[in-house]
C-alpha cells in the first residue's frame, strides 16, 4: 500500500481493534500497513461513551457479583443490548488474555478504564482530526468510591464543541443528503435525511442528545477528508452516505 493512502478509522473499527478475535485484529493490522491512519476526536468521544463506558459497566458487574461465572448472566440481563454485546466482547477479550480470577479481572479492568483503552485507541494513529472540538472526547473516567464515573452525554444548553459551526459549513452536503435520503427504506437513514433538513434551518439542533444518539454516522461522513477512505464495519449505513457525498469506503484486500 502506498504511504500516501489515507484511511480514516470510524468507531466500529476502533472497537474491533480491541474486542475482535485475534484473527480479525491481525487482519485490521495488515490492512493498515503502509497507510497514513487517521481518526478524529468525535470518534474518540463515541469510543469513550461506548467501549470505555461499557468497561466501567463490566467492572461494576464483576465488583458486585460473588461468582465470576454469574457475570455473563448479569451481562445478558442488561437492558441496553448494544452495551451488553460490547461487555460480552470485553469479557471474552479478558479471557483470551488469560484473566479469570476476580482480583485480576478488576485490576485489568481498572487499567482498561483509567488509560488502557484510550491508549489502544491511539495505537498506530498518525493524525487525530479535531474538526468538531468534541467536548466529550476530553472526558476521562474519574474515581468515585469503589468505582468510576464518566460523563457520556452533553446538552444543547451548554456549548462545548464546534459541531454546529462545522455543520453550517456543509450546507450543500446537508441539502444533498436531505434530498437523497428522503423516504429511504432504512429507517435510520431516513431519519438522518430528516435531521439534515432540520440542520439546514438550525445547525444548533445537532448539539446534545441528537449528536450522541442519532447523528454519529452523519458527523463522521461529513468530517471524512475527501482524500481519505473510511474504514468501517457499518457499511449498511455508511455506503449510502458516502455515495451521496462522493466519499470512499475502504475495502481491505483479501
pLDDT tens digits for range 12-31: 999 999 999 999 999 999 99
Contacts 24+ apart (CB under 8 A), 99-105: 100/68, 101/68, 102/62, 102/68, 105/62, 105/68
CA–CA distance, 29 with 206 (Å, rounded to integer): 34
Full DSSP string of 150-215:
------TTS--SSHHHHHHTTHHHHHHHHHHTTT-SSHHHHHHHHHHHHHHH-GGGGSTHHHHHT-
Query: Is residue 55 pLDDT above 80, yes or no?
Result: yes
Tens digits of per-residue pLDDT, 180-226? Answer: 999 999 999 999 999 999 999 999 989 887 787 889 999 999 999 99
How do residues 89-136 score in pLDDT, each as one tens digit? 999 999 999 999 999 999 999 999 999 999 999 999 999 999 999 988
Whether the pLDDT of residue 3 is over 70: the answer is no
Res 230: pLDDT: 98
What percentage of the chain has pLDDT greater than the value 90?
A: 87
How far is residue 232 CA from its own chain's centroid? 10
Query: Residue 254: what pLDDT?
Result: 64
**Rounded Cα gap, residues 217 and 196, in angstroms:** 12
Under 8 Å between Cβ of 185 and 160: no
CA–CA separation, 72 and 136 (whole Å):
29
pLDDT (0 to 100) of residue 2:
56
- Region 134-146 average pLDDT: 93
Whole-number pLDDT of residue 1: 56
Kindly indicate the confidence band of residue 41, based on its pLDDT and cuts at 50, 70 and 90. very high
- The answer to whether 92 touches 15, Cβ cutoff 8 Å, is no
CA distance 76 to 6: 39
The model carries a pTM of: 0.94
Q: How far is CA 116 from CA 100, 107, 159, 218, in A?
A: 18, 12, 29, 28
Q: For the chain, give the mean pLDDT.
A: 94
**Other Cβ atoms closer than 10 A to 152:** 16
pLDDT value at position 251? 92
Amino acid at each position: 500500500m502506498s504511504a500516501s493512502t489515507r484511511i480514516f478509522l470510524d468507531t466500529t473499527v476502533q472497537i474491533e481493534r480491541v474486542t475482535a478475535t485475534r484473527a480479525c485484529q491481525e487482519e485490521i493490522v495488515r490492512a493498515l500497513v503502509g497507510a497514513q491512519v487517521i481518526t478524529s476526536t468525535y470518534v474518540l468521544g463515541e469510543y469513550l461513551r461506548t467501549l470505555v463506558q461499557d468497561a466501567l459497566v463490566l467492572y461494576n458487574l464483576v465488583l458486585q457479583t460473588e461468582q465470576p461465572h454469574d457475570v455473563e448472566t448479569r451481562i445478558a440481563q442488561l437492558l441496553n443490548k448494544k452495551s451488553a454485546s460490547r461487555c460480552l466482547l470485553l469479557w471474552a477479550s479478558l479471557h483470551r488474555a488469560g484473566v479469570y480470577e476476580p482480583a485480576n479481572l478488576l485490576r485489568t479492568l481498572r487499567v482498561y478504564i483509567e488509560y488502557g483503552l484510550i491508549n489502544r485507541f491511539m495505537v498506530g494513529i498518525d493524525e487525530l482530526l479535531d474538526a468538531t472540538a468534541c467536548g466529550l472526547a476530553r472526558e476521562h473516567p474519574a474515581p468515585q468510591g469503589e468505582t468510576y464515573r464518566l460523563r457520556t452525554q452533553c446538552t444543547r444548553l451548554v456549548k462545548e464543541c464546534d459541531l454546529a459551526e462545522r455543520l453550517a459549513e456543509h450546507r450543500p452536503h446537508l441539502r444533498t443528503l436531505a434530498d437523497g435520503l428522503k423516504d429511504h427504506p432504512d429507517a435510520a437513514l431516513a431519519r438522518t435525511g430528516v435531521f439534515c433538513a432540520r440542520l439546514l434551518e438550525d445547525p444548533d439542533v445537532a448539539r446534545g442528545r441528537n449528536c450522541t444518539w442519532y447523528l454519529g454516522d452523519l458527523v463522521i461522513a461529513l468530517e471524512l477528508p475527501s482524500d481519505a477512505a473510511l474504514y468501517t464495519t457499518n457499511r449498511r449505513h455508511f455506503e449510502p452516505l458516502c455515495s451521496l457525498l462522493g466519499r470512499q469506503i475502504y475495502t481491505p484486500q483479501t
